[in-house]
Amino acid sequence: MSALCEEVCRLALKRRYRLIPHIYTLFYLAHTRGTPVATPTFFADPEDPSLRAHETSFMLGPLLIHSSTMRDQELHQLQHTLPKGIWMSFDFDDLHPDLPVLYLRGGSIIPLGLPYQHVGEANLTDDLSLLVALDEHGKAEGVLFEDDGDGYDYTKGGYLLTTYAAELQPSVVTLRVSKVEGTWKRPKRRLHMQLLLGKGAVLDAWGTDGEVLQIMMPSENEVSSLVSASEKQQKIRLESAKPIPDVENVSGHKGTELSKAPIEMKSGDWVLKLVPWVGGRIISMEHLPSGNAFESLRASTEKDLDYLFSFSIRHLSF
């Protein structure tokens, strides 16, 4: 059990470090343009009312992060609700049933870094990867913000903000730098372009950052074959992966730390009823002499759980 959890956590942390250049850029854009770093999915299509009640995904810029599974639903059974348009699924060769599914919106380019152990290992001359998803017009664009990561030199122009653009013409995808801001000089580093085809299929090419980089597009039949082969490979990887067991399937656990059954905790004139599973959800508090009860069941009173928890901390001594 612990080994399975450790593996999933390790994969999730590696994903986070791969995405740090993209996330760092989003924070810069939030600071300078007021655009949110993370948004609900309906921000991608505000005119679609069905997305407003969708709670199993969110956006990081053009990147959509969708929950991989729901209780009693495996990955291949879960219907992913996506905004209209082109959405390309991808992973970092880490496909796992307990990790979120990642989609990149068509027309977008996001920067990726290396899977560091910590950000202090990063160097401006490290390889830079750009993940590209073309839109229906065969175009894509994205930005990368870089500075020294500390201090306020960026307020005086001490940074490098690069806009990358990709375009399909007619059977070649060309990636180039379309705009540059800041006083920093471009580091000498290798550039890895990864063009998403769908279902995890990718075409890639290596070059030098700042120079034009091209990928020859295969025929439609060849693309279809690549996507089909990738889809089969994904299925094999998912079937071979070992998901973390659901709580009720864990055998041999003792105590109440994983229990779904409510328990009562008494102290003086008060009784606190809670469910230990998932962090300890408080159900109710009762003052025995008066018979007054504070309930937090969603179906009844919609009481604020934070208030009940702080109230219990102040008035109960266990």
Q: Do residues 74 and 111 share a domain?
A: yes
**pLDDT score of 4:** 80
The C-alpha atoms of residue 155 and residue 149 are separated, in whole angstroms, by 12
313 — phi, psi (to 5°)?
A: -65, -40
Domain boundary residue, one of 240, 265, 288? 240
The answer to whether position 150 is within a domain reads no
The answer to whether position 109 is within a domain reads yes
The range of the structural domain enclosing residue 212 comes to: 2-137+184-240
Domain total in the chain: 2
Percent helix, strand, coil in the chain, to 5, is 25, 30, 40
Is pLDDT larger for residue 97 or for residue 219?
A: 219
Q: Do residues 48 and 190 share a domain?
A: yes
Q: What does pLDDT average to over the chain? A: 84
Q: Do residues 205 and 302 share a domain?
A: no
Torsion angle, CA of 90/95/97/99, rounded to 10 degrees?
-70
pLDDT over 80 at 308, yes or no: no
pLDDT over 80 at 230, yes or no: yes
Amino acid at position 108, single letter:
S
**pLDDT score of 318:** 39
The residue length of the chain stands at 318
Q: Do residues 45 and 125 share a domain?
A: yes
Closest Cα to residue 16, out of 124, 102, 74, 130?
Answer: 102
**pLDDT score of 83:** 93
The answer to whether position 196 is within a domain reads yes
pLDDT over 50 at 70, yes or no: yes
**pLDDT score of 122:** 87
**Do residues 288 and 269 touch, judged by C-beta distance below 8 A?**
yes
Question: What's the DSSP call for residue 279?
Answer: H
The answer to whether position 189 is within a domain reads yes
The answer to whether position 154 is within a domain reads no
Q: Do residues 208 and 303 share a domain?
A: no
**Do residues 89 and 200 touch, judged by C-beta distance below 8 A?**
yes
The answer to whether position 171 is within a domain reads no
The C-alpha atoms of residue 69 and residue 241 are separated, in whole angstroms, by 14
- Percentage of the chain beyond pLDDT 90 is 55
The answer to whether position 190 is within a domain reads yes
Q: Do residues 191 and 258 share a domain?
A: no
**pLDDT score of 74:** 55
Can you read off the two tokens belonging to residue 313?
Answer: 């901390």
pLDDT over 90 at 118, yes or no: no
Q: Do residues 191 and 306 share a domain?
A: no
Which CATH number characterizes residue 191's domain?
A: 2.60.40.1180
**Do residues 124 and 162 touch, judged by C-beta distance below 8 A?**
no
Q: Do residues 236 and 283 share a domain?
A: no
Q: Do residues 50 and 108 share a domain?
A: yes
**Do residues 180 and 162 touch, judged by C-beta distance below 8 A?**
yes
Is pLDDT larger for residue 108 or for residue 270?
A: 108
Q: Do residues 106 and 22 share a domain?
A: yes
Is pLDDT larger for residue 144 or for residue 67?
A: 144
Q: Do residues 235 and 264 share a domain?
A: no
Confidence (pTM): 0.76
The answer to whether position 78 is within a domain reads yes
> Which residues sit opposite 174 in a β-bridge?
167, 214
The C-alpha atoms of residue 59 and residue 42 are separated, in whole angstroms, by 9
The C-alpha atoms of residue 117 and residue 111 are separated, in whole angstroms, by 18
Termini Cα distance of the chain: 31
Q: Do residues 197 and 289 share a domain?
A: no
